[in-house]
Chain A
Amino acid sequence: MAKDAKGAGKGLTRREVLRLLGGTAGACMLSTGIPGFGHSASNTRPNIIFILCDDHRWDHLSSMGHPFLKTPNLDRMYTDGVMCENAFVTTSLCSPSRASFLTGQYAHTHGVKNNITPWNNDNITFLEILKQHGYDTAFIGKWHMPGKGLPTLRGVDRFISFTAQRGQGQYYNCPLFVDGVETPSRKEYITQELTDYALDFIRQNRTNPFCVYLSLKAVHHQWLPPKDLKGIYKDVEDLGLPEEADNWLGLVNNNITYGTLGRLDDMYRRYCETIVSVDREVGRVMEGLEALRIAEDTAVIFVGDNGFFWGEHRLVDKRWAYEESIRVPFLVRYPRLIQSPGRKIEEMILNIDLAPTVLDLAGITPADHVQGRSIVPLLTSTQAPWRTSWLYEYYRDYPYTVPDVFAVRSDTYKYIETGSKSYPPELYNIKEDPKEMNNLYGSAKAADITTQMQKELEKLKRETGMVGP
């Protein structure tokens, strides 16, 4: 996969994309003057806002057909841009996934294998590279990578984060570290607080383009919405939870270790209410851009750091390689670039693709250490050759009772292995069995495909440097 990432088979070369970007932006400048001057508008290099939501699974958007959840602002990102409906994380766990977004690398490469193994500050983030290329950069929000406190993050002009609850932060009155200085919260609710800081940064007068990494605490465990949204879904009778789920699921199957004391229905309602608050803050960001007249010059990307089970497979939380856990929302709005807005991209996009994509948007060639690939060809063309399979990895995260998991997912099949004899391999035909209820592993008719997927898994492990050649 990494070898494929070096631009092979792209619909447009980086140079062509840059030419397109420059031409479009230039045309805009000529036709409209220089809107929003002082906020880096109409630059050939776009402003970039990356919004990372926590535990937000792919199908929890109203535009994905959710039965009652209303997310008008995220839906607008889709209608104005694209929705990558087959977006995944290579590790379904906060810290490794976050490190993958920042570095464009697999967990076994950047080293943050779980929520305990520390962040190596020698890792190079896309923010650092953007800074080297003249961007104003800010990291605002949840860092949540193991290590002693917050790192001295290179390449950011602004670093605002929190350390409460082992870096998870808290929904209400969360103390922040603003450029290393402990600062009381200005707003009661964390998502509003972080958005305010992001808007403050965006509104600064500048000549450089900017990149804001807005990393939300929501919608992580405890699922506490702001007070005005609390209870908005309390009267919803049919929550649409899976048949195999019941209200007490959080108390059995070791699910209780994920902090799921209480009724599943209640927790799920709070989860959805908290998503609404995220949607509202995304709307504020977009309004802020429009007020500055730079919405057209700004690429806004919204992604989840991993999915979440709400009773599927009688599980709660994430980590496992099933779709609910590994699949995330991935929306891109960038009117200057995106061809045919309002479309869905079916290709399999990964969290490790973010860093090279952002760099590509900024006209920077990703270095060799980046293992993902830019999705810009998919934004500019409706037909671009793409990966046909990818590697999933999960490493034990004490004290959670999930073994090491390695999987390969193709368009049609998913093969899963674990590091424990208690959990035998699994094989699913995702097209015919999207809920992954019928394990084909061991059946005679699936013998060939099993062998094929096992070989593919080993190949991907070698290609990504997980194992030696």
Chain B
Amino acid sequence: MDFSIKQKNVFKRIVIPVGVVVLLMVIAINVYNYAPTLVQTHTGLSRALSNISALGMFVSIWLGVYIAHPMAFFAGASMKERFVVSFSTPVIWSIKLLVGSSAIYSGGDLAFWVFYPLITGVVGATLLNMGISEIICRMIFSKRYPYSISVLTPSVFIIFLIGLIIVPLSLYKGGTVFFYIFVDCYTWLFS
């Protein structure tokens, strides 16, 4: 820990924060996949479940940092641990995408899929969100506790900055520019 906060056990530092967002993601995905089975008998309920669970999926994957990271932070997790916690659902989701892709591609094709814009996008978003969450947590910590800590350390700044660069690049023109660069690179390398 880079400042004075009582370090709780690994269960509270890592397992619970990760468990909360992963559980949210798993429940949301399963509810979402179950909802269409109700569409003929309970159309309204089916639509409501779809909407709620889709929101749950989005929050757990793209904004899960704001849930898991503060929990880890205030449990005294180290920066490395906070990193692991923040990336839990984005990594699981990315692996899920890669597993889906592995039914079609293998070898270099599959390896290059790691640079797929959605994967780089979620990595960038997670870094950006982690940087923001880190700053907010440090501000709260400074107000709550009588310790003086720096709100914007070099590591936090770098995390925030990398995320800030990747996210707009990934999203520019709806992500199409980055996508075409990705495909051009693939074509250049593999065909």
Contacts and interface: CB of A to CB of B under 8 A. Distances in A.
A binds B: yes
B100 A399 contact: no
Interface in B137-191: 174-177, 179-180, 182-184, 186-187, 190-191
Contacts of A396: 104-105
Given A401-B101, A420-B104, A261 B175 contact: yes
B34 interface: no
Contacts, number: 82
B39 interface: yes
A256 B118 contact: yes
A248 B48 CA distance: 12
B174 A222 contact: yes
Contacts of B113: 399
Contacts of A166: 180, 183-184
A399 B39 CA distance: 32
A420 B100 CA distance: 12
B40 to A, nearest CB: 7
A422 interface: yes
A314 B34 CA distance: 13
Nearest to A314: B36
B2 to A, nearest CB: 37
Given A165-B176, A259-B176, A398-B109, A403 B103 contact: yes
Interface of A: 116-117, 146, 165-166, 222, 243-244, 246-248, 251-252, 254, 256-257, 259, 261, 314, 396, 398-399, 401-403, 420-423
B97 interface: yes
B186 A398 contact: yes
Interface string B73-95: 00000000000000000000000
B103 A422 contact: yes
Nearest to B39: A243
Contact of B103 (A247, A399, A423): A423
Given A398-B109, A401-B101, A402-B104, A244 B36 contact: yes
14 contacts: A116-B191, A166-B183, A166-B184, A222-B176, A243-B36, A243-B40, A244-B36, A244-B39, A246-B46, A246-B51, A247-B50, A259-B175, A398-B105, A399-B113
B127 interface: no
Contacts of A261: 174-175
Contact of B50 (A146, A248, A257): A248
A84 to B, nearest CB: 33
Nearest to A402: B104
A254 B35 CA distance: 18
A239 to B, nearest CB: 13
Contacts of A402: 104
A377 B32 CA distance: 51
Q: What's the interface size class on B, roughly?
A: 35 or more
Contacts of B118: 256-257
A251 B183 contact: no
B125 interface: no
Given A257-B118, A399-B113, A248 B32 contact: yes
B58 interface: yes
B187 A399 contact: no
A246 B36 contact: yes
B54 A251 contact: yes
B74 to A, nearest CB: 31
A422 B104 CA distance: 9
A256 B62 CA distance: 14
Contacts of B184: 166
A38 to B, nearest CB: 44
Nearest to B54: A248
Contact of A401 (B36, B104, B112): B104
Which among A398, A399, A403 has the greatest number of chain B C-beta atoms within 10 A?
A399
Interface string B37-64: 0011000001100110010011000000
Contacts of A243: 36, 39-40
A392 B139 CA distance: 61
Contact of B104 (A116, A165, A403): A403
A399 B32 contact: no
Contacts of B174: 222, 259, 261
Nearest to B50: A246
B62 to A, nearest CB: 10
Contacts of B186: 116, 398-399
Q: Give the top 9 A-B pairs by smallest Cβ distance, nearest first.
A: A248-B54, A422-B103, A246-B50, A166-B180, A243-B39, A403-B104, A401-B104, A420-B103, A401-B101
